[in-house]
Structure 1
């Protein structure tokens, strides 16, 4: 298979409800859509869902555009491949930039699945026809405002509520939600906002009383030892997110018992190929996994739904309906959740059409290798 044309579309969509984590608040998102066309005229779509700012990870939308334009585009055009994994070898020497790679890998998997005439879920080895969805709720101005958001999402039927926490916004909101809803699947995510000193570990032990499903990424990404120290004293499972970028990181987590749940974010791990391998390794060691999200547009969200159909994804994933985040998504039909459950598409590729007019209307910048080649002649 040969890729004959590549387009990059940087698109901005407003969020229906602003979202705050321990580092910043956002009211819109800029993501890069990767469009690959092969020599048979088929197209595959992927999404670079990197944040605009270097708070979650070192990558940003600007770095993703730079690396895509100057390194990945040329390598993808030059490659002759039969599987997505073979295409990935063309940029294997490029270190880091996992979000950027994930967009190209996702487009390759979509293109390959369409060429094979199978759904993306089937191509990945998925076994489920539907997946359970959870929602992630940001830091709100008041506890009452948070409780209102929790009520809204529970009424929509979602199976799990995740609360963002940070120093100064942790015990009170968590215990308020647990008190109001004693039986729901509840977990918290700190995005590495805490330090792993003894005093902080003692403080976080108070969260055991909330009977959480997990405490996600309390400490900095490379602090495996701190997470291990916490896990030895905490009854609640620690879940690692930012810490696990590669399979080597997952091996470290397992060896140190630094976490007992894994959040597999396709973008964070460099794409569907590595994410599937992480699922396989975690399952082999009895570690439950779930698919985390980066507020993806529909392209990335559809890929998340597909990988969440694999058997080891036993916990609700961040694959809530598009309408929770965007008034109008870039795919048709949008991802829809019914009573907190999303149907896994069975048609070839990601199972959705791209709303190309909406993409163009909201596009901030555009790269088209066909136009670039024409300009050179």
Structure 2
């Protein structure tokens, strides 16, 4: 049972299940699979979170440091769960998965949708999709047509030097009323040629130009933001609300992509939305998530009134398994916010997870123990 503290009931996590997934579970190539975390209280209620990329060092931090720290920590609200790992080396993805799992658990304990627990107000969200770099302008227009046909109303185009203004104009020529953003991925510098390319994007009607420069070069963002009429958006340079506060004070932009996995979970992401809105910045909730667990958390966050731009979800034809039921998808360009179920509002498909599990452990009062996977069971059967 959960211990009681005064008139409120404190939650103590008694078990963590940590599941490393093969990279194919998320429809990507090599580079490290995602991981799922499940936290459980003494009454058998569980909550889930996701680490988008769980390489060896991150897996070690999760299993040997963060998970045991959470076992030793009781909390009244999920906003207090992070005190468990406050003294550990900061890893926003690991902290974010555990923080999100605690929010999911807390919401399920109370029979409350996660969106409502976070303070969300909306019941449905406009969907946006990111379009990766294509081979030709014609293939860009063809792929945009595919996404528009599926109902998407906002397209985020990946750009780079030599692949920017012409791409935007080609899309606008075929879809003049489509909402467009540009994601530069930090690929530009303050060279004359690069700055001329960014200036050429100004005034073409983009909602934002995201991450034009190296994430650590905040001064470059400030200079560009002061010059362009198009909002400069930050994403990869933010790993905490403190980072966002510094960007706001530096006037380094006027829009932000709030990603729970990069900021350390829903607690910090919710604070980031509030901080950005208070500063007059435009907000949308993108996601590094690679499974439906992380996407469902992002949808709940995007239900906040301040997240005014379309939420990022997989587009038409996207590969990979959501691993949740029902899948987190847009329907005719709209993403429903699940309000009839508690927590994330999506059940984890344990059979599908098992199909993609590369490794799994349980951490509890008895320590850490490996769990058998279908692959290890198969090897044992072959050895008999």
Same fold (TM over 0.5): yes
Shift of 1:8: 0.8
Rounded to whole Å, the distance in 2 between the matches of 1:375 and 1:329 is: 27
Counterpart mapping for 1:321-360 below 5 A: 324-326=317-319, 328-346=321-339, 347-360=341-354
Q: 1:324 and 1:290, CA in 2 relative to 1: closer, same or farther beyond 3 A? A: farther
- Deviation string, structure 1 residues 73-124 (Cα, Å, up to 9, x no partner): 1101111111112111010112321011101111110001011110100000
1:137·1:161 contact (CA, 8 Å) conserved in 2?
yes
Q: 1:16 and 1:115, CA in 2 relative to 1: closer, same or farther beyond 3 A? A: closer
In structure 2, the partner of 1:53 is none
- Deviation string, structure 1 residues 143-162 (Cα, Å, up to 9, x no partner): 22221110010011112000
One of 44, 50, 73 as aligned partner of 2:47: 44
Shift of 1:246: 1.5
In structure 1, the partner of 2:166 is 172
Report the more deviating stretch, 159-168 or 173-182: 173-182
Shift of 1:255: 1.6
Rounded to whole Å, the distance in 2 between the matches of 1:63 and 1:178 is: 44
Q: Secondary structure at the match of 2:146?
A: helix
Report the more deviating stretch, 218-227 or 249-258: 249-258
TM-score, normalisation: structure 2 = 0.88
Counterpart mapping for 1:251-330 below 5 A: 251-320=245-314, 324-326=317-319, 328-330=321-323
In the alignment, structure 1 residue 35 sits paired with structure 2 residue 28: no
TM-score, normalisation: structure 1 = 0.90
2:293·2:322 contact (CA, 8 Å) conserved in 1?
no
Counterpart mapping for 1:87-126 below 5 A: 87-126=81-120
CA RMSD across the alignment:
2.1
Shift of 1:372: 6.7
Shift of 1:327: 5.1
In the alignment, structure 1 residue 243 sits paired with structure 2 residue 246: no
Rounded to whole Å, the distance in 1 between the matches of 2:352 and 2:192 is: 51
Number of equivalent positions: 359
Moved over 3 A (4+): 13-18, 26-29, 370-376
Q: 1:151 and 1:375, CA in 2 relative to 1: closer, same or farther beyond 3 A? A: closer
Q: Structure 2: which 5+ residue stretches go unaligned? A: 1-10, 371-384
Q: Greater CA radius of gyration, 1 or 2?
A: 2
Q: Structure 1: which 5+ residue stretches go unaligned? A: 19-25, 51-59
Rounded to whole Å, the distance in 2 between the matches of 1:215 and 1:274 is: 24
Rounded to whole Å, the distance in 1 between the matches of 2:149 and 2:111 is: 38
- Deviation string, structure 1 residues 144-192 (Cα, Å, up to 9, x no partner): 2221110010011112000111223223222211222122100110111
